[in-house]
Amino acid sequence: MMEARHIRLGLRCTAIGMAARTGRCRLRDVAGLLAETLEVAPDDAEARAAVLAFAQGWQADPQGAGAALQDFARRWRRDPDPPRVPEHDWQRRADCGL
């Protein structure tokens, strides 16, 4: 199960990736992402590698680096067996107006 801090890092990767793709990424955004990655996932080699690759390439290829960071965020720590949402009787009834 993901913790709130991992969700925060994934969302930050997504946002900074989009900022890079739109030309709005700043050096302080990249520095904050590096610091947060070391705080949240210090032992996660995949996270460190993805963020480091972004930090090294965002100025030369913002579109490619941003897309790669967003791809990482989409697949990182994905729960292979997400919790099932229970289905209730009223959800199957035709007379409920749904």
Tens of pLDDT, residue by residue over 60-79, are 999 999 999 999 999 987 76
Q: Please tell me which residue, 31 or 84, carries the higher pLDDT value.
A: 31
Number of compact structural domains in the chain: 1
Query: Would you say residue 93 lies in a domain?
Result: no
Residue 39: pLDDT over 90: yes
Q: Give the span between the Cα atoms of 72 and 6, in whole angstroms.
A: 13
Question: What per-residue confidence (pLDDT) applies to 53?
Answer: 98
Query: Would you say residue 83 lies in a domain?
Result: no
Q: Give the span between the Cα atoms of 63 and 17, in whole angstroms.
A: 8
Own/partner pairs, 4-9, CB within 8 angstroms, 24+ separation: 5/39, 5/40, 6/40, 6/41, 6/77, 8/36, 8/40, 9/36, 9/37, 9/40, 9/41, 9/47
Supply the pTM of this predicted model. 0.77
Query: Would you say residue 82 lies in a domain?
Result: no
Residue 98: pLDDT over 60: no
Residue 1: pLDDT over 60: no
Query: Would you say residue 65 lies in a domain?
Result: yes
Domain of 35 in residue numbering reads as 4-75
Q: Give the span between the Cα atoms of 80 and 94, in whole angstroms.
A: 33
As a whole number, the mean pLDDT across the chain is 88
